[in-house]
Structure formats: C-alpha cells, structure tokens
Amino acid sequence: MKTKNKFCKLFKINEIQTLVLGFLIIILFGTVLLHLPISSTNRSYTSFIDSLFVSTSATCVTGLVTVDTGNHWSYFGKVVIMILIQVGGLGFMSFSTLFALIIGRKITLKERMIIHESLNSFNLQGLVKMSKYILIFTFLIEFIGAVILSIQFIPEFGFIKGLFFSVFHSISAFCNAGIDLFGDGKSLTPYSNNYLVIFTISSLIIIGGLGFYVWQELWSIFYSSKRVKLSLHSKVVLITTCILIVSGTVLFFIFERNNTATIGNMSTKNKILSCVFASITPRTAGFNSISLADINGNSKLLTMILMFIGGSPGSTAGGIKTTTLAIIILTVLSIISGRENTEICNRTIDKNTVYKSLVVLSIGIIIVFVSSIMLSITESGTTMENILFESVSAFGTVGLSLGITPNLTPFGKFVISMVMFLGRLGGLTIILSIVKRTTPNSIKYPKGRILIG
C-alpha cells in the first residue's frame, strides 16, 4: 500500500504542470502533422526540427518561421498552423471547457484551477462563464476582422483564396501571432499605405493584447445597467498601453522620418501610419509594414524594448507584460520620492506583487541573456545585434526578425524554440512547475545590512 501511495504521489501533477504539459502535447501533435508530406506544397517530408520550430512558433503565437509560410506549406499545413495559433492564443483549457460544455460534462475543481492558471485571473468564481464569454468574444472579433479584410483580399486573390487569407490573418492578428501567408518574407510591406489593412490588423492586435479581463470590464461599463467602475488593473493596462503606443509612434517618426529605405519618401500621413503600426506590432504581433533590415540602430533598440515589454496579462500577447513594467517604474519612483510603498491611482500595491514583478523582469532578462550567449556560439556568422533581436523577439513571442531565422543551425532552432515556449507560458510559470514550493517558514532571522548601489 505504501509503495502504491508513493507511486501515485510521484505522478501526481499540479495545475501549473498540467498547463505546461498541455502546451507540450499540442506542440508535439502539431509537429507530427506538419512533418507529413500532405502539409507541404511539394508533398515531401518537412524536416522534424523545422516542423517542431513552426509548431512551437504557432502554438506560442510567436511568428518566427524557418520556412516560408506562404510558399512551403500546402492548404492543409496552413490550416494546421491556423488551428495551432487559435488554440495557442486562447489556451487549450478554453477549448477543453467548450468541448465539455457541448457534451454536457461538468467542469471539475481541478479543471477550474487549471483555467485559473491559464487565464491568469484573480479568483476561481465565474471562470467557466468567463471562458464562454472569451470564446464568443474572440470568434466575434475575428469574424468582424475577417469580413473587413475580405474587402481587400477577395478582389485581389479571388473568393476562395481571399476568404482564407482574410480568416487566417484575422486569427493571426488577434492572437498576436504575426504569421502571414504573403510569402517571400514580405509580411504587410505591400500594404504599408493601405489604411483598411493596416488599421484592421492594428485594431485586432490591440484588442487581443489588452486582455480579456479588461474587455469584460469595458463591456460592463458600456452595457450594464449598474454603475461599474474600472478596476485598478484595467486602468493600469489602458494607461500603460496608450503611453507605449503614443511614445513609440513619436520615437519611430523621429528616428525614421529621413530614412529613405523605410518611410523617408512617404507622405506625412503615410509616415504616421507606418510609425503607428511599427509601435503597435512589436507588442507582440510580428507583422511589419516596413523593411526591418533597413531601419536604423535607434529603431532596432526601440523595437527590442517594445518586444520585451509585450502585451497585458490574460491576453494573447507575450513579454513581461505592461502591468509588470508599470509596477517596476512606479516602485522606482516611490523609492526615489521616499515613499515606503508602491502607489498607483491612490492605491497601495502589495509587496508580493512588487516582488513578483521584479522576478518576472529578472527571469526575462536572464532568458534573453543566456539564449543570446548560446546563439553567439552556434551562429558564428551572425552579428550580436541580430542574435539579441532574435532572442528578444522569441521571448516576447513577437516574430519580428532581421532575417536570420531560416539560417539558424539545428541547435539554434532548438534554442529559439525553447525561448518561445518559455516566453509564451512565462519563465516564472515554468520554474514553478519544476520547483517544489515549500510552505512559508514562521521563523524570522535577525535583519542584516548590505550596501546597495
């Protein structure tokens, strides 16, 4: 009996481990499908490492690809990628919940706990109802996005291809994946001056990156008969997002306005349009409407900063998240001004939340630093600037690249795949799934003093 109990205890996994394992299973399943000859246009087997890389990129809604998505994959392969993007963007537990509701099965407490971890919500109440709203909201927004994009793509590509392009890019934009079907690495550069395409894709990226919790509150404010106020979380997300978009647009305009290889020859309106999109897409979509290889060093640094920050908690985006950035900046300002606690909008932030923000930032920096060092050893013919850009893009699940992704060595592809996986689930989540957490120790030791700065 004792042996049996030990065996059961050994293979008992918690909610975070279930979440990690679920993503791994989806990635491996996608890898097998993409590896098959039916998935490629030339009906030959795609190498396992490339299949694994693209499956990881799609499931982790990153957008980095080692083979040309538009030219290499058949329609079957493209549908597989689209499904992986959708499942990866919303989380496999949302679809598991939908399936359970369809067949009339009750959601267990453990499943609610997994949904809680997947959605990064505040509490366990109303999670199943929230999951239903998330699915309805997602499909509705993606449908509207596809309809608007079809106005451009159906006349350009024909009904069947144009409709498929509209649906695929609407899902890819809302889920912040940034994978496109235009081929030859063009992304949205042919549509840099097309207001319909750029505004639609930008709107889908922003909506997907704000987080479902924020949209639920906004919906309640506008359509509820009761008086509802925005929570502190939603205020911080909206304010930080607006600041990042506006400041990013202004800085991109300053850096690139005279660069003839990017926006230098455009009209003022088109320059602003391109700069707005360049500010939005690194957080964390991966589309580009101007040539990234031709932007100057300042713009590359700004893009890396935006990629590292990413979107907001509970969204389809990656990065350290907008709320983490806001808490860290306000903590620094609080210390400088002599305040004991971090304060936001006349509210005090719990110290555990501040500590967690610092841990998330530290883990993100460590992941980018370690992966960049590893790639600098294996990718000997590539500059450190390109490697750092690639690592940040993978961690932020962005998908923007300076062109080195297809030429990565097999080990380099594996490293970037791992970084994408860590970036999607969060380094802290991965660590918590591996490390056994102990109960807090009631013993308090004497205070020690260490000089800082």
Output the tens digit of pLDDT for each of the chain's 453 residues. Answer: 444 444 344 445 655 666 677 788 889 999 999 999 999 999 999 999 999 999 999 988 888 899 999 899 999 999 999 999 988 877 644 544 554 444 454 555 444 454 444 455 545 455 556 667 778 888 899 999 999 999 999 999 999 999 999 999 999 999 888 899 998 888 888 998 999 999 999 999 998 888 777 887 887 777 766 666 788 888 889 999 999 999 999 999 999 999 988 998 899 999 999 999 999 998 778 888 888 888 999 999 999 999 999 888 877 778 888 989 999 999 998 888 888 888 887 888 888 888 888 888 998 999 999 999 999 998 888 899 999 999 999 999 888 988 888 889 999 999 999 999 888 877 556 555 555 555 555 667 777 777 666
Stretch (H or E) spanning 236: helix 232-256
Contact 399, 178 (CB under 8 A): yes
Q: Any bridge partners for residue 344, and if so which?
A: 347
Degrees, nearest 5: CA angle 220-224-227: 90
| Residue percentage of the chain with pLDDT more than 90 | 43
Separation CA 373–CA 368 (nearest Å): 9
* Global pTM value: 0.86
Position of tokens 């509820």? 224
Q: For 337-351, what is each residue's pLDDT tens digit? A: 888 888 887 888 888
Stretch (H or E) spanning 347: strand 347-348
Contact 85, 34 (CB under 8 A): no
| Cβ atoms within 10 Å, residue 217 | 21
Stretch (H or E) spanning 343: strand 343-344
Contact 93, 115 (CB under 8 A): yes
Nearest CA-CA partner of 319 in 308, 303, 305: 308
Hey, what are 260's tokens?
A: 């003839």
User: How many residues are listed for the chain in this entry?
Assistant: 453
> What is the domain partition of the chain in residue ranges?
11-434
Q: Are strands 343-344 and 347-348 parallel, antiparallel or unpaired?
A: antiparallel
pLDDT at 21: 79
Contact 243, 326 (CB under 8 A): no
Instruction: State the DSSP code for 191.
Output: G
